[in-house]
Amino acid sequence: MKKVIQFIFTTMILSTLLISAGCKKDNTQKDPDKDTKGLYSFSNTEYTGLANVGNHYFPRPLSLRFGEGNDVTAWSHLTLSVWHRGDVHGKITKVEENPQGQTTVTIHFDLPGDEQFNSPQVYTISADKSRITGGMSPIISMVDMKLFPKDAPSIVGNWAQPDHPEWFPDVNVIRFLATGTTNYFQNGKFILAAFDPPTNYAQNYIQDGSRIIFSGVNPDVAAPLITHIPYYGVLSADGKILYVDAYEFSAARISTALSTFPWYGPKGTTPWLIRQ
């Protein structure tokens, strides 16, 4: 009888140890007893700013969003052998936390048609979660990426480069209205649509948190017609800067790798607008 009791007691201890080992918490996890909204401490967060994205001539605007689990989206304009506009989806394959509290995240992005470039990307999130660094070319290498607030600031308002009115003329100055449209102020006056009476020329825009899809305009290509150019932008973490880039380069008035002179802005620098 004594041996039976000892056997049962030993079995109970082993079972408890196995259950304990199987339920060991990942150091990067939120407390599952109190918060079930995300698998990791950085779940449901977004980082915005600039990154070297694909084969490009200056850092591009980027929004990187982590989902509740292992899903990730990188939103930019990634150009390799094909274009990847907007969301590039990825999966977290590994998460580790070092003694300094930094979190290393390995992501594998899904790049149809560009699989030959797609090596896993390794990023490091700072201990206070305020920054993300790492990655490597030609996929997504972070330049200046900061934690974006959960309550995204509105894009509504005037945005410009007031000290450099000749820079980025497609979008300098641009007014985002609460109605979901944009107006444009160039060469000291509003761009007008050819109606009777004339009205401010307007294009639609979409804001999704830090992510902005809108248009730049050039009224001089075939006046009185107005050429609009697809643009996208990403708000900085403090909501004071809008980093912008064109989706269509043939008509965009920004500096490119082929620019002989920096007529439309400094070469090698991401176009940016300042909230007025």
Would residue 67 count as lying in a domain? Answer: yes
Would residue 38 count as lying in a domain? Answer: no
Model confidence band, residue 164 (pLDDT cutoffs 50, 70, 90)? very high
Total of domains in the chain: 2
122: containing domain: 46-147
Would residue 41 count as lying in a domain? Answer: no
Single pTM value for the model:
0.84
Segment 22-47 shows an average pLDDT of: 64
Same domain for 129 and 197, yes or no, is no
Same domain for 71 and 139, yes or no, is yes
Tell me how far apart the alpha carbons of residues 195 and 120 are, in angstroms, rounded to a whole number.
53
Would residue 6 count as lying in a domain? Answer: no
Summarize pLDDT for 215-269 with one digit per residue, the tens.
Answer: 999 988 766 678 999 999 999 999 999 999 998 877 889 877 666 678 899 888 9
Considering 106, 123, 147, which residue would you say is the last residue of a domain? 147
Segment 47-61 shows an average pLDDT of: 92
